[in-house]
Structure 1
């Protein structure tokens, strides 16, 4: 049974602008309504944050600075200024909201899982009733699309992967509830209808690591951090992908160019600068740079198809280093509390988030929840007796 207290209801309302199903956005004036809600919610959350005298940790400040950097480059290059401004204020808003609910985390978690349940279940209903497609749009790059309540199958990961992590976390805060089991089943069943290779890989890894007693204890946070970045370097920078052939070619039926992404990665690497980025350019401008295949321009290359490369393309190599510092901080916090099962789920979540970023851009705020939530783990975790060592007072734990 769903029970919401007053704080959960407020959190649910505040989270509405972050949960905007693609089908809803196709309705007349829906985009304007959501943008208006974003501005109003951001303003109210900011006022609450100031009046309650909350402070931010260093990694949270770094994330905000990084998004501000992208906005500055976007403005200088006359890119998608309005869109990037909304991205900036919404990142600030979700960070402020998490801090505001750090002492009432269960209320925030109740609101989050309810949002994911509504979106994922409604999407599953549209998949069952309209297996071919709920609606279709046309674009010059992709032609006719096949979409459902949450959009095309490639966009399902934006909802299903963070929904999976939230469900796995929810079970430790509400042990008597079975909602987390039903949500995970809904996520699995959805993929029998439509899914993407990235979602199959990441959700499978997440479930196996979370429920395997042996792997659950072997894959410590720092091992996850080093392994995830090592594979990233092998695939993207060194172009060594042959070791993935059994998975990519065998299990997934894809080619080792990752559907021609390797050329886009090379173009992105060639346009990286230490302190300068392109910001959030217009889609056709990005395609002219990243989609240059020599004899033709692929208009579908509207981003780098890799999270770290896309960050570097938009904000420079310095922004990649900032992002890695945030990842490291999150993993370090989780290493400290490793014996707590909540910490392990968070660690696996960031691990698969980085893996998803090998071939996709994972800057959507729902996906970023996977990284943002662990940054306040010292304040939100239960059963802190599992802590392995003293960690308070270190520089990146301080609030500013």
Structure 2
């Protein structure tokens, strides 16, 4: 984005435009909590939709397959939400936010160098700012009050359990940027700050996921062991054993020692049981319900209602709960197609990196709801592998 030549600094306007767009869609929690900036985000989100629509029409371009899948999935959720008289405003907002974001990535993917650098610069800004707030405000940079948790402690990126939604895709982009010939010190610096942030404030799930992604990329032997087929089988098997059958005793050391949770995954097993019962009752899905309605279904514990159960605390159960089997089929197709594309280009290091990100995404999904716009980078980047390979060939020539 910035070019240094003969002691002068020039700005790549195309890269700068990409950076502004990515910054708008990144939306750190602190800025969203401020009424003025929150309104600016909402207004610019509509501008983004108009921009991508104009770009597709003016360039006579057809959106890539992943854009249609994301649009279909979120349109189905919106339809179900309207049909079930749910949180219609939130459903429409998510439809515009997620579809606009992946469309923007598609439009800008014509120049992968500028896109990756713009994403990196965006993550650098929000990650470094978040680290400053974590470092100097250990008891929280700002606070909010909710029924489930009382007074919250939050930093620039929100509560520490939510850092994952930004720091994991940031790690993936930093590694991809490095592999594509970017300035290594920038990538290493960002990764170092991400690890330091997790060391000070972070969840066990995020720590394991981020460290695993870094190690998988560094250790060549992994490519012979963790292939796309094996990865999908492993994640599917673990999901079935842990969530459906409840057999977690064999994972006691990992759950209690590394993830820092008990064998109920901090009461998640009760929520999973409630979610599966609700899915059986309504296989076509509930759409996006009001949070209070979610609580009475998912948080119905023996003898009491837990107000923190506003979602299924499992990404795939959440997709099933909201979108039913049809919504889940579309969502899973995005992941499956991405894995197949990684397998097609398996000899390339970046194809393997993107699959490792996808694999870890499916593992993290067992205990986390990952329906956040920046996490969509993890599942749509494999669709851009042909563009990435072109960029890589240009680097090597």
Quickly name the TM-score band, shorter chain normalised: over 0.9
Asked if the contact 1:340/1:384 (under 8 Å) is kept, the reply is: no
More deviation in 217-226 or 103-112?
217-226
Offset of residue 129 of structure 1: 1.1
SS in 1 for 2:279: coil
Q: 1:44 aligns with which of 47, 51, 59?
A: 51
Instruction: Tell me which residue corresponds to 1:365.
Output: 373
Q: Does 1:6 align with 2:13?
A: yes
SS in 2 for 1:272: helix
Asked if the contact 2:204/2:258 (under 8 Å) is kept, the reply is: no
SS in 2 for 1:302: coil
Q: 1:228 aligns with which of 220, 230, 235?
A: 235
Asked if the contact 1:245/1:256 (under 8 Å) is kept, the reply is: yes
Q: Normalising to structure 2: TM-score of the pair? A: 0.93
Q: For the residues of structure 2 that align with 1:99 and 1:136, how far apart are their CA atoms?
A: 36
Q: Does 1:68 align with 2:75?
A: yes
Structure 2: gaps spanning 5 or more residues:
4-10
Asked if the contact 1:340/1:383 (under 8 Å) is kept, the reply is: no
Distance 1:322 1:71, change over 3 A: same
Q: Does 1:136 align with 2:143?
A: yes
Offset of residue 84 of structure 1: 1.4
Q: For the residues of structure 2 that align with 1:2 and 1:10, how far apart are their CA atoms?
A: 12
Instruction: Tell me which residue corresponds to 2:291.
Output: 283
Asked if the contact 2:205/2:259 (under 8 Å) is kept, the reply is: no
Q: Per-residue displacement from partner, 1:143-163 (whole Å, max 9, x unpaired)? A: 111111111101100110000
SS in 2 for 1:316: helix
Instruction: Tell me which residue corresponds to 2:159.
Output: 152
Q: For the residues of structure 2 that align with 1:224 and 1:7, how far apart are their CA atoms?
A: 37
Structure 1: gaps spanning 5 or more residues:
386-400
Q: Does 1:188 align with 2:215?
A: no
Asked if the contact 2:67/2:106 (under 8 Å) is kept, the reply is: no
Instruction: Tell me which residue corresponds to 2:61.
Output: 54
Q: Does 1:80 align with 2:87?
A: yes
Q: 2:39 aligns with which of 26, 32, 41?
A: 32
Distance 1:237 1:324, change over 3 A: same
Offset of residue 265 of structure 1: 0.4
Q: Normalising to structure 1: TM-score of the pair? A: 0.92
More deviation in 346-355 or 245-254?
245-254
Q: For the residues of structure 2 that align with 1:353 and 1:300, how far apart are their CA atoms?
A: 23
- How large is the Cα RMSD of the aligned pairs? 1.7
Offset of residue 86 of structure 1: 1.7
Instruction: Tell me which residue corresponds to 1:395.
Output: none
Instruction: Tell me which residue corresponds to 1:351.
Output: 359
Q: For the residues of structure 2 that align with 1:102 and 1:254, how far apart are their CA atoms?
A: 39
Q: 1:106 aligns with which of 106, 113, 118?
A: 113
Offset of residue 2 of structure 1: 4.8
Asked if the contact 1:279/1:315 (under 8 Å) is kept, the reply is: yes
SS in 2 for 1:271: helix
Instruction: Tell me which residue corresponds to 1:377.
Output: 385
Instruction: Tell me which residue corresponds to 1:115.
Output: 122
Instruction: Tell me which residue corresponds to 2:97.
Output: 90
Instruction: Tell me which residue corresponds to 1:23.
Output: 30
Task: Show the 5 A alignment for 1:285-364.
Answer: 285-364=293-372
**Structure with the greater relative contact order (CA < 8 A, sep ≥ 6): 1 or 2?**
1
SS in 2 for 1:178: helix
Distance 1:267 1:275, change over 3 A: closer
Distance 1:57 1:40, change over 3 A: closer
Instruction: Tell me which residue corresponds to 2:8.
Output: none
Distance 1:19 1:253, change over 3 A: closer
Asked if the contact 1:126/1:149 (under 8 Å) is kept, the reply is: yes
Instruction: Tell me which residue corresponds to 2:6.
Output: none
More deviation in 317-326 or 155-164?
317-326
